[in-house]
Amino acid sequence: MELKLEQVAGFPKTLSEKPQHFCPGCTHGVNTRLLAEALDELNITEDVIGVCGMGCSALITDYLEIDMVAAPPGLAIPVAEGLSHEVGDHTIILVYVGEGDLYGRGLSALIHAAIRGVPLTVVCANNLNMGMSGGHLSPTTLLGQKTPTTPQGKFSHQYGIPTDFIRLLLDIPGVSFAARFRGFTAGEIRKGKEYLKQSLNVQKFHRGFSFVEILGICPTNLGLSPPDAVKQIKSAVQGIYPSGLFKTPETRIAL
C-alpha cells in the first residue's frame, strides 16, 4: 500500500533558515515565527521596514528576511518615526522591542508617538525582565520576582507596582489598535497572530498607531525549566497583564 503524505504546515518565506540561538524556552522564537507568518499571509514582506530595540529583541535581525534597522537603547520609536517621515506611504514600519527598552528609557517616546498618531506598528516583547543584560529588574517585573537587582524579590515600596502600560495608551486618540496575548499558550498564540495581522493592516490602510504586547517567559533568568516557567508566569500575570483585544479602529475615539 502506497503511503500518501499530506503537508499540513510550511516554513514561512519571511523566516530565515538560520539556526536560532535564543535560550531554550524563550518566547522570542515564537514571536519571530508569528511575525514571519503574519507578513507572509498579508503578502506585505516587500513593503515592510523593521526597527528593533536593544537586548534579545535585536536578534530578530538575523531571522526576519526584511530590511531592518537596529536602534540605540530607548530610541526604537524615534528611529522608526524618523523613517516614517522619509519613506513612501506604501511602506509599513514595524518596531520590535523589549519591555525594558520600551517602557524604561523609551516610555516618553512611546507616549508622544501615540499622541501624534504616528503610523507605526509597535510589537513589545514583555518577558518581565531585562533578559540580555542578566535578567535584572524591568518596569513590568512582578511583585516578589527575584532578579539580580532585586535578590530578595521586588517590593512595591522600593521599586513600584507593576504597570499595565497598555492602559496608558487606550485613551489616547492617536492609538488605533491595542492588544495583548501570551506567547506561551497554544490558544493565545493562534489568536495572537491574528492580532499581529490586524495591527499591520492598520498601517496598510493608513489608520494610525497600532500596538501589540506579547507576554513571554525567560526561563534562563527565572532559573526554571521552560514548563515550570510557563506554570509560574501563567498564574502570576492573571489580573495584572490581561490578554485581549482592547482597541480597534472601529472603537477608536474620533480625532
pLDDT of residue 255: 40
CA 201/CA 186 separation, integer angstroms = 23
Q: Within the chain, where are the H helices?
A: 28-42, 76-86, 99-100, 107-116, 156-159, 166-170, 186-204, 219-222, 226-236
CA 253/CA 235 separation, integer angstroms = 33
CA distances to 104, 136, 155, 244 from 151, rounded to whole Å, are: 20, 9, 11, 32
pLDDT of residue 8: 64
CB burial of residue 70 (10 Å; 0-12, 13-18, 19+): middle
C-alpha 168 chain-centroid distance: 16
- Spell out the per-residue pLDDT of the chain, length 255, in tens: 567 766 666 789 999 999 888 999 999 999 999 999 999 999 999 999 999 998 889 999 999 999 999 999 999 999 999 999 998 788 999 999 999 999 999 999 999 999 999 999 999 999 987 777 777 778 888 888 888 778 887 888 888 888 999 999 999 999 999 999 999 998 899 999 999 999 999 998 888 899 999 999 998 888 889 999 999 898 888 889 999 999 998 876 444
Fold that domain 28-247 belongs to in CATH: Rossmann fold (3.40.50)
In this structure, are residues 27 and 184 in contact, taking their beta carbons and an 8 Å threshold?
A: yes
CA 36/CA 50 separation, integer angstroms = 12
**Which of these, 18, 37, 10, lies nearest to 189 by C-alpha position?**
37
**Which of these, 207, 203, 214, lies nearest to 250 by C-alpha position?**
207
pLDDT of residue 254: 45
SS3 68: strand
CA 145/CA 139 separation, integer angstroms = 12
Domain ranges of the chain: 28-247
Residues 175, 244, 166: CA angle, nearest 5 degrees: 40
